[in-house]
Amino acid sequence: MAKSIDLAPEASRLASLLLSYMAAVCAFVAPRQPGARAAIFDRLSHSRALTYGRVQGAMDEPSILIREATRADVPRLVAMNRAAYPVMAKEDVVWGERHLISHQRVFPQGQLVAEIAGTVVGAVASLVVDLGANPLRHHTWPGITDSGYFTNHDPRADTLYGADVYVDPEYHGRGVGAALYEARRQLCRRLNKRRILAGGRLWNYHVHAGAMSPEEYAERVAAGELKDKVLSFQLREGFNLRGVMPHYLSDSMSHNHASLVEWLNPDYRRPSASDRKARIACVQYQMRKISSFEDFARQVSYFVGVAGEYRADFVLLPELVSAQLLSQEPSVSALEGIRRLAGYETRFVELMQSLAARHELTLIAGSHPVAEGSKLYNVACVCLPTGEVVRQPKLHITPSERKYWGISGGHSLKAIDTPKCRIGVLICYDIEFPEAGRYLADDGAEIVFVPFCTDSRQAYLRVRYCAQARAIENQVYVALAGTVGNLPSVGNLDVNYGQAAVLTPSDFAFARDGIAAEADSNEETVLICDVDLNALQGARAGGSVTPRLDRRTDLFRVVSHLPADQAPNGPGDGPLGGQPGET
């Protein structure tokens, strides 16, 4: 399906959508983390507005805040893990910094921490795994977690695996573990996974090992005849005992045995063939003079509302779509204008966040300048229907952006998990660099979104041709959306040239020219297109050519120097990942 819809705005329709938008803003309150602004790395690459909420403590006790872990939490998590498992710490079978950093890169949603009064007091580590036709088969901890690095995480699989949960011993008995387990159940429901599976060390088995087998011990704990610190807690949290696994993890207390426990998601909905189709709406946005932020909100709300009515899964807005706000300001230099535009950041993000939640879609909200001290970054906000906001900075800065606006390049790039599939965002010039697209594809992205802002046909075609190349060489879909129209009073953004498009690999499963859909150039419109993610996977596995499988990694490789991929200094990898003192 591909539609190009002419949107001559109707006054009555705009008014209705504005009222709806205002109601949504009043009704929707996005949860936020307390405290000061995060450091630039966390803010631009790992900042997420969603927290899992607070659990109120007993009288006179502070509440428990559950949120996603960040890079800044890593040293505290390493120390807390060792404190929680002192016996295993002696054998160095605990988390190291490299593992925790890998977890956050591979599956950030699954790495949760609990805070009390600003102190991290507990954490869970999770990944999604494919266990095939026999999900209850025995396994080992190193095998199911890829030696603790989670690089086997498969977002398309149906089992959320609980690799670890740990609480600072000083905070035992305050409901921290229960709050973390509830947050993990919420995550399972939100991702529509069939189950949570976990292996639990038989904590107290060493006391009874001379009198009974591990299987008998576990059954007696399940019957309530014995108490086990781990298994008894898991059973109280609604898990069912499915068996006992030998050789699970090196642990003297359990004699290397673990219970296999399962929680089934009562809200699980079996995916259908249509669940692997995604509807993309690319907004070809006309830059026209406005007189207030409300005018801007009205225009954006209209377009997102149209996409919502067509049941789009994704809506893509252009790069620097918010620059329209400068048309209400007095004429100033380009540098002063972009700094003023950065001042709208909070209102801009809240608007986009509320629209994504209201229409239950993923909104790639173009980009907006973000000030960090003396530096300015061009940042795309990916607003998920849950209220989460994931930020992706532009990495490669054009000469004119540096000269007229003083924009700096960001230092983070990662694929983003959405309810439909894993995606990536490359802002305009970024798509012209093959290694960035390759990195996202290798990180599991199936659709790459490219918000752009170009002033001439030549500039646009650089973006377009490179986007087509990325689609072919990485076997991904690439969606583009740009600005059109003129803003004579806004320096360096006065002229715009654009043509929205959704591009595909070039093979028989896709459109003949590798173009799923394209809009007429320089006309205000919304391009709506369906893409088949199963066809994408089929082409990767057995297409006419299979570039993802045929790469000569013995001759060429992509080396990442992104901060998130860099190992910290010093030893301490943790479980089975190269112990201190090993070469």
Domain locations in the chain as residue ranges: 2-18+272-537, 62-270
Amino acid in position 288: R
Angle at which helices 293-309 and 345-359 pack, to 10 degrees?
A: 20
Indicate which residue of 188, 421, 428, 529 is catalytic.
428
pLDDT, residue 52, reads 54
Integer CA distances (angstroms), 253 to 198, 203, 363, in order: 18, 6, 49
Q: Which CATH class is domain 2-18+272-537?
A: alpha beta
Please state, in angstroms and rounded to a whole number, the distance separating the CA atoms of residues 323 and 329: 11
- Output DSSP code: residue 253: T
Please state, in angstroms and rounded to a whole number, the distance separating the CA atoms of residues 424 and 446: 8
**Secondary structure (3-state) at 515:** strand
- CA 351 from centre of chain: 20
Which residues does 48 contact at the CB level (< 8 Å), separation at least 6?
68, 108, 388, 389, 390
- Residue 363 near residue 317, CB atoms below 8 Å: yes
428 is catalytic: yes
What are the strands, taking DSSP E only, across 46-106?
53-55, 64-68
Asked, colleague to colleague, whether 2-18+272-537 and 62-270 share their fold, the answer is no
336 is catalytic: no
Nearest to 180, CA basis, from 360, 53, 78, 270: 53
Indicate which residue of 237, 319, 388, 518 is catalytic.
319
Q: What is the CATH topology of the domain spanning 62-270?
A: Aminopeptidase (3.40.630)
- Ordered per-residue pLDDT tens for the chain, 583 residues: 554 444 444 444 444 444 443 333 333 333 333 333 333 333 344 444 345 556 655 556 679 999 999 999 999 999 999 999 888 877 777 899 999 999 998 898 999 999 999 999 999 999 999 998 899 999 999 999 999 999 899 888 999 999 999 999 999 999 999 999 999 999 999 989 999 999 998 989 999 999 999 999 999 999 999 999 999 999 999 999 999 999 998 888 899 999 999 999 999 998 776 678 999 999 999 999 999 999 999 999 999 999 999 999 999 999 999 999 998 877 778 888 899 999 999 999 999 999 999 999 999 999 999 999 899 999 999 999 988 899 999 999 999 999 999 999 999 999 998 989 999 999 999 999 999 999 999 888 999 999 999 999 999 999 999 999 999 999 999 999 999 998 877 767 778 999 999 999 999 999 999 999 999 999 999 999 999 999 998 998 889 999 988 988 889 888 888 887 765 544 444 443 332 222 2
pTM above 0.85, yes or no: no
Indicate which residue of 394, 414, 420, 529 is catalytic.
394
Q: What are phi and psi of 342, to 5 degrees?
A: -60, -25
- CA 288 from centre of chain: 33
Please state, in angstroms and rounded to a whole number, the distance separating the CA atoms of residues 9 and 352: 20
